[in-house]
Chains A and B, each alone.
Chain A
Amino acid sequence: MLNIESLVTRYGTITAVRDVGLTVRAGEVVCLIGPNGAGKTTLLATVAGLLRPSAGRVTLDDADVTGWAPDRMLRAGLALVPEHRRIFSDFTVRENLLVGGITQPASRRQELLDEMVSLFPILEERLSAPAGYLSGGEAQQLAIGRALMSDPAVLLMDEPSLGLAPVLVDQVFDLIGRLREGGRTLFVVEQNAKRMLAVADRAYVMRSGEIVADGPAAQLAASEDLFETYLGQSGGTA
């Protein structure tokens, strides 16, 4: 479904993503783990169209989408839940969701809104509230719901558990599990490797801009080696 080949992204003279290749198949939950500064966010930003790759190819359902602007990527079926959620805090919760569905016809937008409300019951009672007042966990649900409003073929998530209290982290991983059961295709960047591997089908490990390991999530989770060698931690973060 989503295919990345030999992707390179540079900031000036710094190469943040070097020759990265990976594949996300329909219905799969694939994660990208790795330490801080590995280039994970840069990779996602490039795939979503916020940054232009210096080399390589991105294809979505066999269509070449390399270097497309974010609005075109979204129309092609790729939605990103950005790092730090980036909720429109001056908007109500409902308006945030509506913006997410801005590319949909009005009737479909309403259907999707109803779907999101049933997927995230907490948002229903807050629909008319300013989104700026949501807690971190609620805001993360809203950010995910907003991205799903475009009915994407592939949902990209950048650090969905970052900055959340432990109980809310649980909620986020539950949610990823539910989306997986719902048949969604997800590509998730996470620092919380252990928790992420528990809900993913396959995983890639990134370090210093390169993919250094990949395989079925369960297999990687069982490898002590992985955590010590690549993630520079023993046993992963809780």
Chain B
Amino acid sequence: MIELIQQIIDGLGRGGIYALLALGIAVIFGVMHLINFAHGELITVSAYTSYWLFASGLNWWFIAPTVIVVAVLTAVIIEFVAFRWVRGAPDFTMLMTSFGVHFLVQALFVMYVSANFRQFPRPGWIFDTWRIGGLSLEVFDLAVIAATLVTLLGTYWLLQRTMFGVSLRAAAEDFDTARLMGIRSNRVIRGAFVLSGVLAGVAAVFWLMRSGQAGPTAGLNPMLKGVLAALIGGLGSLSGAVLGGITLGLVEVLLISRLPGGTAGLTDGIVFLLIALLFVFRPQGLITVRRVERV
């Protein structure tokens, strides 16, 4: 029992990061119908930022907020340079554009920095554990869960209570009608990228604290997890993205801890198999996005 509680907390820690990544992807998909395979590049750029800041002698207290700002700037630049020009193009064109950005950013780092991964120090406390009763909790998991909760609540408040949130949701439901209400396309889409950048930035801080390395493909794994989680949740559904992220984190941890010794490497394979099964029974993902024209 105690073991299960520990695994659930571990899974929530992992799933929280996935949820933030998936939510950023879902926000962009909502307003643009773009599955942003370049979302991971925000993590890549954040990783190099962390590496260079460490090399200049700065610590995590400075690096964490800087990483979030850099992720936001990167998101805004990618929108301005790449996605603005294919807005309204067929979904497939936008998908290819996001692949293009993904490979271009990777190539730039290989060409101008190095193909090799570079290490930077992880904060000392991430391996600390707290003992409460019979539980031994990783401080890192608790920090991720707390940060995820705060970020999700902040996002919820933004979407529900501010006019920006209302216009973002309006644009996600019916872009043309949102424009008829006076919502400016450029502004709402840029806003969506800023939000996805903040979410990716928070996720990046924790992802990088755990991995402690920067490389041209540093963003690949987080991007795949985020896209998967968003798909599991039902693309375009924001609550689905969060649910999908948490589910993915929990399933991974429960699988790793239950697979017999030496077979933990099969985790990803089994996860994909489960996702395939999910789509056989619920092709729309966990949460159905309603897009019905009422007459």
Contact = CB atoms under 8 A, between A and B. Distances in A.
Interface in A55-104: 69-71, 74-75, 79-80, 82, 84-91, 95, 98-100, 102-103
B293 interface: yes
B210 interface: no
Given A88-B174, A95-B166, A139-B294, A102 B180 contact: no
B294 A132 contact: yes
A75 B180 CA distance: 10
A106 to B, nearest CB: 8
Interface stretch (B51-59, B106-114, B182-190): B182-190
Nearest to A90: B173
A53 B173 CA distance: 26
B91 interface: no
A177 interface: no
A98 B169 CA distance: 12
Given A132-B290, A136-B295, A90 B163 contact: no
Given A50-B176, A50-B180, A88-B177, A102 B294 contact: no
Interface string B128-169: 000000000000000000000000000000000001001101
Contact of B180 (A48, A91, A132): A48
B170 A84 contact: no
B2 interface: no
A79 B163 CA distance: 19
Contacts of A89: 173, 290, 292, 294
A88 B182 contact: no
Contacts of A146: 181
B166 A71 contact: no
Interface residues of A, number: 32
A145 to B, nearest CB: 12
A99 B185 contact: no
A183 to B, nearest CB: 22
B294 A74 contact: no
Given A89-B173, A95-B166, A98-B166, A84 B179 contact: no
Contact of B290 (A90, A99, A100): A90
Residue from B173, B177, B178, B180 having most chain A Cβ neighbours under 10 A = B180
| Residue in A50, A75, A91, A99 whose Cβ sees the most chain B Cβ within 10 Å | A99
A87 B179 contact: no
B182 A71 contact: yes
Contact of A150 (B174, B176, B179, B182): B182
B185 A69 contact: yes
A94 B87 CA distance: 30
Nearest to A135: B294
Nearest to A87: B294
A88 B173 contact: yes
Interface string A39-54: 0000000001110000
A71 B295 CA distance: 25
Contacts of B185: 69, 71
A82 B176 CA distance: 10
Given A89-B173, A91-B169, A99 B294 contact: no
B3 to A, nearest CB: 41
A102 B292 contact: no
B180 A69 contact: no
Contacts of A74: 180-182
Given A49-B179, A71-B185, A99-B183, 10 more contacts: A50-B176, A82-B177, A86-B176, A86-B177, A87-B294, A88-B174, A91-B169, A99-B178, A150-B181, A162-B295
Nearest 5 interchain pairs by C-beta:
A74-B182, A103-B182, A70-B179, A86-B177, A163-B295
Interface of A: 48-50, 69-71, 74-75, 79-80, 82, 84-91, 95, 98-100, 102-103, 132, 136, 139, 146, 150, 162-163
13 contacts: A48-B180, A71-B179, A71-B183, A74-B181, A79-B180, A84-B295, A86-B177, A91-B173, A98-B166, A99-B167, A99-B181, A102-B182, A150-B181
Interface of B: 163, 166-167, 169-170, 173-174, 176-185, 290, 292-295
